[in-house]
Amino acid sequence: MANLLTRIKNTIMADLNEAVDKKERKNPIAMLNQYLRECEGETEKTRRLLERQCQLKEQFTREYRQALNMAEKRGHQAEIAQKAGETELYMFAAQEQQHFAERAERLKEALVNAAKQQNELEQKYEVMKHKLKDMQIRRMELMGRENVTRAHQQMDKVIDNDDFSNQSYSYFNEIEAYLDRVEQQVNHSYYHSTIDNRIAVIEKAMKSNETHSNS
């Protein structure tokens, strides 16, 4: 039974890997974008962990200082109680002083460890940011090369496509024919207007000559 489940699992994983490989070959930039999004997510998780570690370090620092202050305070109170002959009060203050001193020592060790861990996280976070930025730059380079390749392919397709060339040639012919018709209409209107004006001028001159002749 275990062997059967293992074979089934291996078969499923093989199918998934094959599907991923096909997707990568079909659209490598899309898969690269997916990988980068995952890297960005991991980098963001590290940033939040680093931020949390800084907060913990600050908390350890505050607790450590409070424990030191309380240990010093209880030690001073124990001295006063001892000088005053207050045995019970002295014993209580002395026990408190020892308790806070032990807490301060434990917190000091925790603070040192927290600072060390914070330093390690900061270094890893910086490395992750640099790697992520390098991958983003490589993506832009790949996208640029892919864009140029597609542009060349599209231009070659247009240039080598006889159907497209025929359509373009027909389209330009239609435009030229339309321009010819417009030009003819404009010229006809111009000539018609010119003829009207010239005839009007001639007619006016003839009438003027007739008037002078009669007089």
- Mean residue pLDDT across the chain: 78
d(CA 14, CA 10): 6
Report residue 182 as tokens: 């417009």
Q: Are 42 and 49 in contact (CB under 8 A)?
A: no
Tell me the one-letter amino acid at 155: M
Helix pair angle (28-83, 2-26), 10° resolution: 110
Sorting pLDDT into bands at 50, 70 and 90, what band is 189?
A: low
Identify which has the larger pLDDT, 31 or 27: 31
Cα–Cα nearest to 105, from 57, 67, 73, 139: 67
* Helix, coil or strand: residue 27: coil
Q: Are 68 and 105 in contact (CB under 8 A)?
A: no
Identify which has the larger pLDDT, 17 or 150: 150
Please tell me the pTM assigned to this model.
Answer: 0.52
Q: What does each C-alpha distance from 140 to 30, 63, 135 come to in angstroms?
A: 12, 48, 9
d(CA 23, CA 30): 9
Residue 143 has pLDDT above 50, yes or no: yes
| CB-neighbour burial class of residue 59 (10 A; exposed 0-12, middle 13-18, buried 19+) | middle
- Give 89-105 pLDDT, tens digit per residue: 989 999 999 999 999 99
- What is the reported pLDDT for 197? 72
- What is the reported pLDDT for 95? 94
Sorting pLDDT into bands at 50, 70 and 90, what band is 10?
A: low
Please report which helix (H) or strand (E) contains residue 105, including its range: helix 87-160
